[in-house]
Amino acid sequence: MIHPAIPASSSKPSTLLFPGDEQFWFETVRMFGADEYGGASFGEVLAVSTRIAAGDYDGWYDAWNAMAERIAAEADGQIARNHRISARDNYLRASNYYRASEFFLHATPQDPRVRHAYECSAACYRAAAALHDPEIRPVEIPYEGTRLPGYFHTAGEGVRPLLIMHTGFDGSAEEMHWSGARAAVERGYHALCFDGPGQFGPLHREGLVFRPDWENVVTPVVDFALTLPGVDPSRIALRGESLGGYLAPRAAAFEHRLAAVIANDGLYDYGAPHVGRLPEAAREALVAGQKTGPVPAIDQAMEAAMKTSPVMRWAMTHGMWCFGAATPSEYMRKTLDYTLAGGIAEQIRCPVLVCDAGDDLFFKGQPQQLYDHLTCKKALMIFTEAEGAGFHCEVGAARLANARMFDWLDETLGM
């Protein structure tokens, strides 16, 4: 078990912006944290945030979209004058600002602003990728009659280990740039980032929704990875973020070509936190009752909770879209399939690093459950609020978190 040097703080931090709205504050910290690898600028994030009122989804879109458009236009002018580095940096930030702009609009995914922001985010990232040296190569990975979008970050010549990376419930392959891909390249790893069904690209492009049997997503990705130049087939690792803390271990239980897995943060049973919020009678109706159709008592309870909880309001609307559910109760029922119980966690053979953020807003206690059920070589890495890394997936502390995760991976793969 790996522990940090600084103990956890006993006091819970307040939101410094957006008082009373933990979801807006978390997403803002996420944006501040992207600064560490060039995905945002502290001053720009602060300037945008001061123009948004807590809970105002349209205002959030307007402010972030305006900043994205300004930065992208500046990049267009810079590339026209052959200022390649300046354009690269601006396109990268604009990509993230476009991504952030549509984040809270998913209650109505047919809203044209959602598609527009996605297309602009991806286009700006591809423009930035082409200006990197070595170039970051966009890829399309064959998957069940379609293709999954992604990016191959090469660390240079020669045969090297590969880190496959994907996000979770609400991130993007583009966001993996500052969430770990560039940290991998700095350390001599190739990195292959991709979006699976339910995630940013496939969800926006084709309406593909999540599936619990994630090995059927990762296996085609590993097949594709083995066709890439310079990949050591004996040193392919997988890292999943957020809901990816369930998805990546699930894949590893069945895809045994993986040499190591990082679950950031670890997630043993995705449905448990959802069911745990319900009154006992509603919980029984969901778990032991009907398997199809809405459960009115749950839908009424969730609709009431969404009026008072910013986190619930966002989580339910986005969850219904990315899981392909018409009602909150249908979404919650679908989450019950996303579990490593029943001996699945015990089937993982490769070493696993389970990360745990001490002040996790969403899945507190889940990393320890995953760790306890693993029978392979394993480590539990705890990040704390006192060191600025206690948020879910250590947002705002990427340099610190990546250093510890990659040190473990280096030692595990013999780097």
- SS3 sequence, 283-332? HHHHHCCCCCCCCHHHHHHHHHHHHHCHHHHHHHHHHHHHHCCCCHHHHH
CA distances from 402 to 169, 360, 407, 410 (A): 20, 18, 8, 12
Same domain, 245 and 342: yes
DSSP state of 52: -
Does residue 9 lie in a domain region? no
The answer to whether 103 and 59 have CB atoms below 8 angstroms apart is no
Does residue 7 lie in a domain region? no
Same domain, 166 and 178: yes
Same domain, 314 and 222: no
Does residue 280 lie in a domain region? yes
Q: Tell me phi and psi for residue 284, to 5 degrees.
A: -65, -40
Q: Which of 280, 305, 335 is the last residue of a domain?
A: 335
Domain tally, the chain: 3
Does residue 174 lie in a domain region? yes
Does residue 234 lie in a domain region? yes
Same domain, 38 and 184: no
Does residue 3 lie in a domain region? no
The answer to whether 102 and 114 have CB atoms below 8 angstroms apart is yes
Same domain, 244 and 314: no
Q: Which of 335, 360, 385 is the last residue of a domain?
A: 335
Query: Which range of residues forms the domain containing residue 250?
Result: 139-270+338-409
**Rounded CA separation 49/218 (Å):** 37
> What is the pairing mode between strands 190-194 and 146-153?
antiparallel
Q: What confidence score (pLDDT) does residue 288 get?
A: 63
Q: What confidence score (pLDDT) does residue 362 get?
A: 80
Does residue 2 lie in a domain region? no
Does residue 181 lie in a domain region? yes
pLDDT of the chain, 415 residues: tens digit per residue: 443 433 333 344 456 899 889 999 999 999 999 999 999 999 999 999 999 999 999 999 999 999 999 999 999 999 999 999 999 999 999 999 999 999 999 999 999 999 999 999 999 999 999 999 998 999 999 999 999 999 999 999 999 999 999 999 999 999 999 999 999 999 999 999 999 999 999 999 999 999 999 999 999 999 999 999 999 999 999 999 999 999 999 999 999 999 999 999 999 999 988 887 777 777 777 776 556 667 787 888 888 889 999 999 999 999 999 999 999 989 999 999 999 999 999 999 999 999 999 888 788 899 999 999 999 999 999 999 899 998 888 999 999 999 999 999 999 998 7
Same domain, 248 and 310: no
**Rounded CA separation 370/340 (Å):** 8
Q: What confidence score (pLDDT) does residue 293 get?
A: 67
Q: Which of 405, 390, 28 is nearest to 180 (CA)?
A: 405
Give the Cβ contact number of residue 15 at 10 Å: 16
Q: What confidence score (pLDDT) does residue 231 get?
A: 98
Q: What confidence score (pLDDT) does residue 27 get?
A: 94
Same domain, 293 and 349: no
Same domain, 191 and 95: no
Residue 352: give its domain's CATH number.
3.40.50.1820
Same domain, 266 and 226: yes
pTM: 0.93
Q: What confidence score (pLDDT) does residue 292 get?
A: 61
Q: What confidence score (pLDDT) does residue 143 get?
A: 98
Same domain, 231 and 342: yes
Q: Which of 133, 163, 196 is the last residue of a domain?
A: 133
Q: What confidence score (pLDDT) does residue 2 get?
A: 46
Same domain, 263 and 276: no
The answer to whether 228 and 161 have CB atoms below 8 angstroms apart is no
Q: What confidence score (pLDDT) does residue 7 get?
A: 36
Same domain, 264 and 381: yes
Q: Annotated active-site positions, please? A: 242
Residue 61: give its domain's CATH number.
1.20.1440.110
Q: Which of 203, 398, 190, 402 is nearest to 318 (CA)?
A: 203
